[in-house]
Amino acid sequence: MSEAAPRRCGYVALVGAPNAGKSTLLNQLVGAKLSIVSPKVQTTRSRVLGIVVEDAAQLVFVDTPGIFAPKRRLERAMVAAAWAGAEDADFVVVLVDAARGVDADAERIIAGLKSAGRRAVLVLNKVDLVDPPRLLPLADRLRKEALFDAVFMVSALTGDGVADLRRHLAAALPEGPWLYPEDQLTDLPMRLLAAEVTREQVFLQLQQELPYATLVETETWEERADGSIKIGQAIHVQRASQKAIMLGKGGSRVKEIGARARAELEHTLGRRVHLFLFVRVTEDWTEDRERYRAMGLEFES
């Protein structure tokens, strides 16, 4: 038998503008749905780890909230979490939506990384939406930034090019012992993961501002003798009018959110799930220090 390759391990931060496809890419890189995805910007609120082993390397991917110009406290905390994710990582992967090109948010990220003296890997994502001839000028323009050591063109949605990217990163990680057990997928507690599944349905099923006013918390978690799990969650909104929309006519909206979240949870947990959702008006949850800590965010950002 040949000698085993030395073990490698490291953190790889995925950064980019809102909607560039960071969470979709994280899920594709680890082969599991860990980070929630929606067509709306700012779906991801905090740092999500996705852990995967490639040959002798353990890759710890860090999905981050998008980097944009924040205004409100929650937004500031999200952007701070994104930059912190990049600072702590061994590698930074910058995602650019190839269909969108380099917008003001992407410019800000590139400038920020350069001034921090970082190097990065560029991923042009969503190549399934763009004609190949249009990709080359974009890649050339970004190569001139003198920030990127390598450029990959992928579709996080179809998985095209993702295995190549993973192999490249695995080979480039520093040698060192693995930081997580071999079969661990994430560091998110199950209660938080379960809350995220419901929050994803809120983003997918409700319009405009309401998802941004919403916080989901798992309040109870009861493993039953028959192997099923009973989960109770609160959906916090900020106003009574929002509660009415969340409930829907005769409770139909929250029922639909619960039905889809429950199906997804049963799939993820491999167990029967009883999910109970309660919609509460909690006016000032975006000003609650404890809740930021529970989300893994810094209140004073």
209 binds, among Mg ion, ligand GDP, none (CB under 5 to 8 A by kind): none
Q: Does 198 bind ligand GDP (CB under 6 A)?
A: no
Q: Which stretch binds ligand GDP (CB under 6 A): 32-40, 110-118, 167-175, 239-247?
A: 32-40
The letter for the amino acid at 289 is R
39 binds, among Mg ion, ligand GDP, none (CB under 5 to 8 A by kind): ligand GDP
Considering only 11, 13, 15, 23, the residue that binds ligand GDP (CB under 6 A) is 23
Query: How many residues appear in the chain?
Result: 301
Q: Does 22 bind ligand GDP (CB under 6 A)?
A: yes
Kindly tell me which of 10 and 18 has the beta carbon lying closer to ligand GDP. Answer: 18
What are φ and ψ of residue 148, in 5° steps? -105, 130
Q: Does 19 bind ligand GDP (CB under 6 A)?
A: yes
Longest dimension (CA), the chain: 68
Instruction: For the segment 41-70, give every residue that binds Mg ion (CB under 5 A).
Output: 44
Q: Does 161 bind ligand GDP (CB under 6 A)?
A: no
Which residues share a beta bridge with 280? 236
10 touches 150 (CB < 8 A) = no
The two tokens of residue 19 are 């909607």
Nearest approach, Cβ of 35 to ligand GDP (angstroms)? 7
Nearest approach, Cβ of 244 to ligand GDP (angstroms)? 27
- Coarse DSSP helix, strand, coil percentages of the chain, rounded to the nearest 5 percent: 40, 25, 35
Q: Does 23 bind Mg ion (CB under 5 A)?
A: yes
221 touches 231 (CB < 8 A) = yes
Nearest approach, Cβ of 157 to ligand GDP (angstroms)? 3
Site string (120-159) toward ligand GDP, x via CB under 6 A: -----xx-xx-------------------------xxx--
Q: How far is residue 297's CA from residue 169's CA, in Å, rounded to a whole number?
A: 27
67 touches 83 (CB < 8 A) = yes
Closest chain position to ligand GDP (CB): 21
Q: Does 24 bind ligand GDP (CB under 6 A)?
A: yes
190-205 helix and 252-269 helix, angle to the nearest 10 degrees: 140
**Residue 25: how many CB atoms within 10 A of its CB?**
28
Interaction site with ligand GDP (CB under 6 A): 16, 18-24, 37-39, 43-44, 66, 125-126, 128-129, 155-157
